[in-house]
Amino acid sequence: MTSYYYLSDGELAERLHLGDHRAFSQIYERFFGVLYKHAFNRFRDQEQAKDVVHELFEDLWMKREHLLINSNLSHYLYTATRNKILKIIAHQNVVTAYATKQSVMIKPDEGLTDHRVRERQLAEIIEKEIQSLPPKMKTAFELSRKHNYTYKEIAEKMDITEQSVRSHVKNALKILRTKFGILIFLVVFFYLFSFF
């Protein structure tokens, strides 16, 4: 019987791709500590660091059939963690900017409930605009921004070239930027990662 402890990263990645639970468990045991330490160094918050790494491993399992990791598993996991951290930091910056702008516009007695109603309404408007994009553009945009697929993964899934995927996502961003303006365009990404 194979001892998963002694398998190389590349062998674990291959077995993960085939849906091997034990390979996934070994990857988790092998990399959780170092990825958690990296996330903690950025956030200085134990729970937030754990959440980021757990979410990364959840994505890893859910997308295992479509991932093209090859032999450099550690590089893939480190990059994926860094990208999640950067999205959270960008999200926090957008939330701060949005909250600052809203605090000027909202009366003190409107309270938190009204703020959340406005957030939900804005999320619905954004989603409606995304749904009105041309079908292929919408699919490419959602796979990229809501599900964090790479252009290569999207190209394979949609059976189109990576260049076509890039064009679809670029055009979708251009349309949304035109409709929402710069500040609201940034807020689009806040809602994409919060509500969808």
CA end-to-end span of the chain, whole Å?
A: 42
The per-residue pLDDT for 169 is 84
**pLDDT of res. 115:** 60
Residues in the chain: 196
pLDDT for residue 194 is more than 70: no
pLDDT value for 196: 40
pLDDT given for residue 158 in this prediction: 92
Average pLDDT over residues 167-195: 64
- Looking at every residue in the chain, the average pLDDT score rounds to 79
Question: Which segments of the chain belong to CATH 1.10.10.10?
Answer: 110-196
| Mean pLDDT of the region 74-96 | 80
All CATH 1.10.1740.10 domain ranges in the chain, comma separated: 1-105
Residue 35 has pLDDT above 80, yes or no: yes
pLDDT tens-digit map of 151-171: 889 999 999 998 998 898 888
Q: What is the architecture, at CATH level 2, of domain 1-105? A: Orthogonal Bundle (1.10)
Burial tier of 173 (Cβ tally within 10 Å: 0-12, 13-18, 19+):
middle
Instruction: Classify domain 110-196 by CATH number.
Output: 1.10.10.10
Q: Which residue has the tokens 């990229």?
A: 144
pLDDT band for 27, please (50, 70, 90 cuts).
very high
Q: Which amino acid is at 172?
A: A
